[in-house]
Amino acid sequence: MHPECPPAPALDVVIPARNEAGRLPYGLERLSAKLAGLPLSASIVVVDNASTDATARIAERWSGPVPVRLVHCPVPGKGAAVRAGLLATTAPYAGFCDADMATDLAALDEVLVLLRAGHQVVIGSRRHPGSIVEVYGHPLRRVGALAFNRLVHDLTGGVADTQCGFKFFTGPLARAAAADLRTSGFAFDVELLLHCRRRGAEPVEIPVVWRDVPGSTFSVRRHTVGCLRDLLRIHAEARRTPAAQRPITVADELGAG
């Protein structure tokens, strides 16, 4: 007799990881435990983003209550890693969270409720009135985040916190938006949300418990100029590209294949 095949995942969660050998085991342990307790089958997709440490080996050898798959992305940048990860998903629902699990995973319960209710995009927001932000990094970084969100207000339809690394989508929409994503750096969230809105899907922001975890790869000094350059390009492309009239569906995705 052949052993029963595990059910196909209904939710794929992507973890972009660049040199995360120090934090990835903790993140995988936490996420695996949470996903195993959900009322649906789930899997994890770890994207090794041109790491030079043991990140890939940890993901490849990981054994836990939910499947973990390794995807390689040689192009450096969080946006490139998230794009590769979302394109590798197959589930009806898909999303991503950071390797440090800075966002409390209890928010996944509300994510699933909203996705099942028909919402296409559900994202964590540290600026939601119901959120609890235990620490928020260096004051300069906080000021920069506020200024960044003001700059992208129109592009994202008024999303208060575009940069929280906790975003979930219907699977077909996630893969379609990721296929159009061209921003490899930290401003990718803005473009990803823009592509979702162009397909008629408005993001729903939910409250989260978020704590600042040491080891972030974002640097105000090193990455600000690149983010601004990407925003200018995204703005220009948004003006040139007409909006789609409706969200992409499972039938659309199957037809495209």
pLDDT tens for 6-23 read: 789 999 999 999 999 999
| β-strands 132-133, 68-73 pairing | unpaired
pLDDT at 36: 98
Residue 186 confidence class, pLDDT cut points 50, 70, 90: confident
How far apart are alpha carbons 217 and 20 in whole angstroms?
10
By CB atoms closer than 10 A (0-12, 13-18, 19+), residue 257 is exposed
Q: Is the model more confident about 218 or about 83?
A: 83
pLDDT at 157: 80
Taking Cα atoms as reference points, which of 204, 188, 198, 31 lies closest to residue 111? Answer: 204
pLDDT at 237: 78
| β-strands 203-207, 121-125 pairing | parallel
pTM value is 0.86
pLDDT at 200: 94
